[in-house]
Amino acid sequence: KAGVTQTPRYLIKTRGQQVTLSCSPISGHRSVSWYQQTPGQGLQFLFEYFSETQRNKGNFPGRFSGRQFSNSRSEMNVSTLELGDSALYLCASSVNGEFYNSPLHFGNGTRLTVT
């Protein structure tokens, strides 16, 4: 079974621009979560989607948004990029993320650099 696929692997943007990251979950997985990882803050939860609906949200500004399509693929968008948005963005999928007995499986992330 193919793992979680994230594209692109690397991205360089300038301040003020916007960016869209893509995530394809493991086949059969309906929940997709997004995390931001930085050296200073570690791994932080952004949001979770299930059946095209946002089910959980972390403490990030409204510039961070996402969506999920009917095939469970998900995209994350960051608008008006700031230098502090430079990070590794990780996507994770699970059969049903709400159940505590359903492990999340992560992709290898998109490394975003904002200059």
Partner 1 sequence: DAKTTQPPSMDCAEGRAANLPCNHSTISGNEYVYWYRQIHSQGPQYIIHGLKNNETNEMASLIITEDRKSSTLILPHATLRDTAVYYCIVRNQGGKLIFGQGTELSVKP
Residue 35 CB, nearest distance to partner 1 (Å)? Answer: 8
State the DSSP string of 29-58: --EEEEEEEETTTEEEEEEEEETTEEEEE-
Q: Does 58 bind partner 1 (CB under 8 A)?
A: yes
Contacts for 97 with CB less than 8 Å, ≥ 6 apart: 31, 32, 33, 48, 50, 55, 56, 104
Q: Quote the least distance from Cβ 80 to partner 1, whole Å.
A: 25
The residue from 21, 26, 90, 114 that contacts partner 1 (CB under 8 A) is 90
Contact residues for partner 1 (CB under 8 A)? 4, 33, 35, 42-45, 48, 56, 58, 90, 92, 98-101, 103-109
